[in-house]
C-alpha cells in the first residue's frame, strides 16, 4: 500500500490506517449538492450548518444529517484551511466532468482503506468483473484478521459503490471494470497530490495518483498542457526535461495545516 510521507499529512492527506469504509460510500451526489449550494469561500461552520440545520442534503432525520456531516468531513475535510480541500474546491466548478475523479482523489488521499482497494481496481483489465471480496482483500493487504466478517462485507459493498461513483466500475449487481473519464482538472489535482508527496517533474506522471486517472502518460501530458493553457498549473516539457509548478493553486499552501 502507498505510504504517505509525514510532510504530506500537513496538507490534509492521511496515513495508511486512517478511515474506514464500513459506514459510507464516496458520497459524490451529496458532495455535488453541498458544493452547488454553498459559496466557494464557505467555512467549515457554514458547511456544517447547511447540512445539519438547513438540511440541504434532504436527509430524513437529524441523525442521518449528523452522519452525513461526519462522513463528508472525513472524506473531504470541508475546510478551506486544509490545502487538500481548498484546491479541490477551487478546481471543482472548472470542469463538471472531472468531479468524480476529483472526489475519488481527495477521498483516497484521506482514507487509507479506500486507497488500499485501488490495487484491485488498477490490476483488473477493462471489461472484467470486480467483486467486493477482491476489494476487501486488496485493502486488508494480507492482514486477514484486520476486520470481522460483518465489517468486511460492508467495506466491500461500499468500496464497490465508491468506485462505481468515480467511474472506474459500471453495472448494478455485477460490477465491471471500465475506464474512468480523465479531464484536465482531475489531472491537475493528481499531479498536485504527487507533488505534495515529494515527486517532481517526470515522476509526477507515474505516481499512484496519476494511475487513478485511468489514462496513458501521453494522455496525461495532453491534459496537463490543456490545464496549463487555462492557467491552472505551469507546465514545460522539452529536451527530455519536465517541469510542473502549482503557483496559482498553492499560494501559501505550505503554511496550511490538517483538520
Q: How many domains does the chain have?
A: 2
74 and 101 in a single domain? The answer is yes
Say how many CA atoms lie within 13 Å of 215 toward its Cβ: 22
Last residue of a domain, one of 169, 184, 199: 184
Confidence tier at 144 by pLDDT (50, 70, 90)? low
Q: Are residues 133 and 234 in the same domain?
A: no
Residue 140 has pLDDT above 90, yes or no: no
- At residue 256, the pLDDT reads 36
pLDDT value at residue 180: 98
Q: What is the pLDDT of residues 97-116, one digit of tens each?
A: 999 999 999 999 999 999 99
Q: Do 4 and 126 belong to one domain?
A: yes
Looking at per-residue pLDDT, the higher value among 166 and 240 belongs to 166
**How many other CB atoms are there within 10 angstroms of residue 20's CB atom?**
18
* The pLDDT of residue 2: 78
Look-up of cell digits 455485477 = 174
Looking at the structure, tell me whether residues 138 and 240 fall in a common domain.
Answer: no
Domain boundary among 147, 168, 184: 184
Q: Looking at the structure, tell me whether residues 127 and 226 fall in a common domain.
A: no
- The string of pLDDT tens digits covering residues 54-97 is 999 999 999 999 999 999 999 999 999 999 999 999 999 999 99
3-state secondary structure 60-104: CCHHHHHHHHHHHHHHHCCCCCCHHHHHHHHHHCCCHHHHHHHHH
Widest distance between CA atoms in the chain: 60
CA 240 to chain centre: 30
For 7-43, how does the pLDDT look when each residue is reduced to its tens digit (9 = 90+)?
999 999 987 665 677 678 999 999 999 999 999 999 9
Full residue range of the structural domain in which residue 221 is found: 185-255
Residues 193 and 144 in one domain: no
For residue 124, pLDDT over 90 is answered with: yes
Q: In Å, how far are 9, 26, 213, 218 from 104, measured between CA atoms?
A: 18, 7, 10, 22
Determine the 3-state secondary structure of 235 from DSSP: strand
Q: What is the pLDDT of residue 1?
A: 62
Distance CA 165, CA 104 (A): 8
Within this chain, do residues 8 and 112 fall inside the same structural domain, yes or no? yes
Q: Which of 154, 184, 214 is the last residue of a domain?
A: 184
- Residues 196-252 pLDDT 10s: 999 999 999 999 999 999 999 999 999 999 999 999 999 998 888 899 999 989 985
* Cβ pair 14, 111 in contact under 8 A: yes
pLDDT at 26: 94
pLDDT digits (tens, 9 = 90+) for 170-183: 998 899 999 999 99
Q: Are residues 169 and 195 in the same domain?
A: no
- Strands 129-130 and 169-170 come out as unpaired
CATH number where 83 lies: 1.10.3540
Amino acid at each position: 500500500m502507498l505510504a504517505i510521507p509525514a510532510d504530506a499529512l500537513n496538507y490534509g492527506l492521511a496515513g495508511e490506517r486512517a478511515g474506514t469504509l464500513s459506514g459510507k460510500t464516496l458520497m459524490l451526489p451529496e458532495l455535488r449538492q453541498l458544493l452547488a449550494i454553498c459559496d466557494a469561500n464557505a467555512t467549515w461552520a457554514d458547511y456544517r450548518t447547511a447540512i445539519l440545520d438547513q438540511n440541504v442534503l434532504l436527509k430524513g432525520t437529524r441523525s442521518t444529517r449528523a452522519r452525513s456531516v461526519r462522513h463528508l468531513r472525513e472524506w473531504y475535510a470541508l475546510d478551506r484551511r486544509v490545502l487538500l480541500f481548498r484546491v479541490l474546491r477551487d478546481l471543482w466548478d472548472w470542469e463538471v466532468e472531472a468531479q468524480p475523479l476529483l472526489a475519488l482523489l481527495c477521498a483516497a488521499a484521506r482514507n487509507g482503506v479506500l486507497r488500499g482497494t485501488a490495487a484491485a481496481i488498477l490490476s483488473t483489465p477493462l471489461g472484467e468483473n470486480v467483486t467486493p471480496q477482491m476489494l476487501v482483500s486488496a485493502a486488508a493487504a494480507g492482514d486477514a484478521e484486520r476486520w470481522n466478517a460483518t465489517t468486511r462485507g460492508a467495506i466491500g459493498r461500499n468500496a464497490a459503490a465508491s468506485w462505481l461513483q468515480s467511474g472506474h466500475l459500471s453495472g448494478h449487481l455485477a460490477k465491471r471494470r471500465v475506464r474512468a473519464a480523465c479531464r484536465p482538472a482531475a489531472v491537475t489535482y493528481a499531479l498536485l497530490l504527487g507533488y505534495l508527496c515529494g515527486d517532481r517533474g517526470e515522476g509526477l506522471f507515474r505516481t499512484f495518483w496519476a494511475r487513478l486517472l485511468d489514462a496513458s502518460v501521453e494522455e496525461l501530458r495532453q491534459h496537463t498542457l490543456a490545464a496549463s493553457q487555462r492557467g491552472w498549473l505551469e507546465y514545460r516539457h522539452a529536451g527530455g526535461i519536465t517541469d510542473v509548478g502549482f503557483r496559482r493553486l498553492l499560494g501559501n499552501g505550505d503554511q496550511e495545516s490538517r483538520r
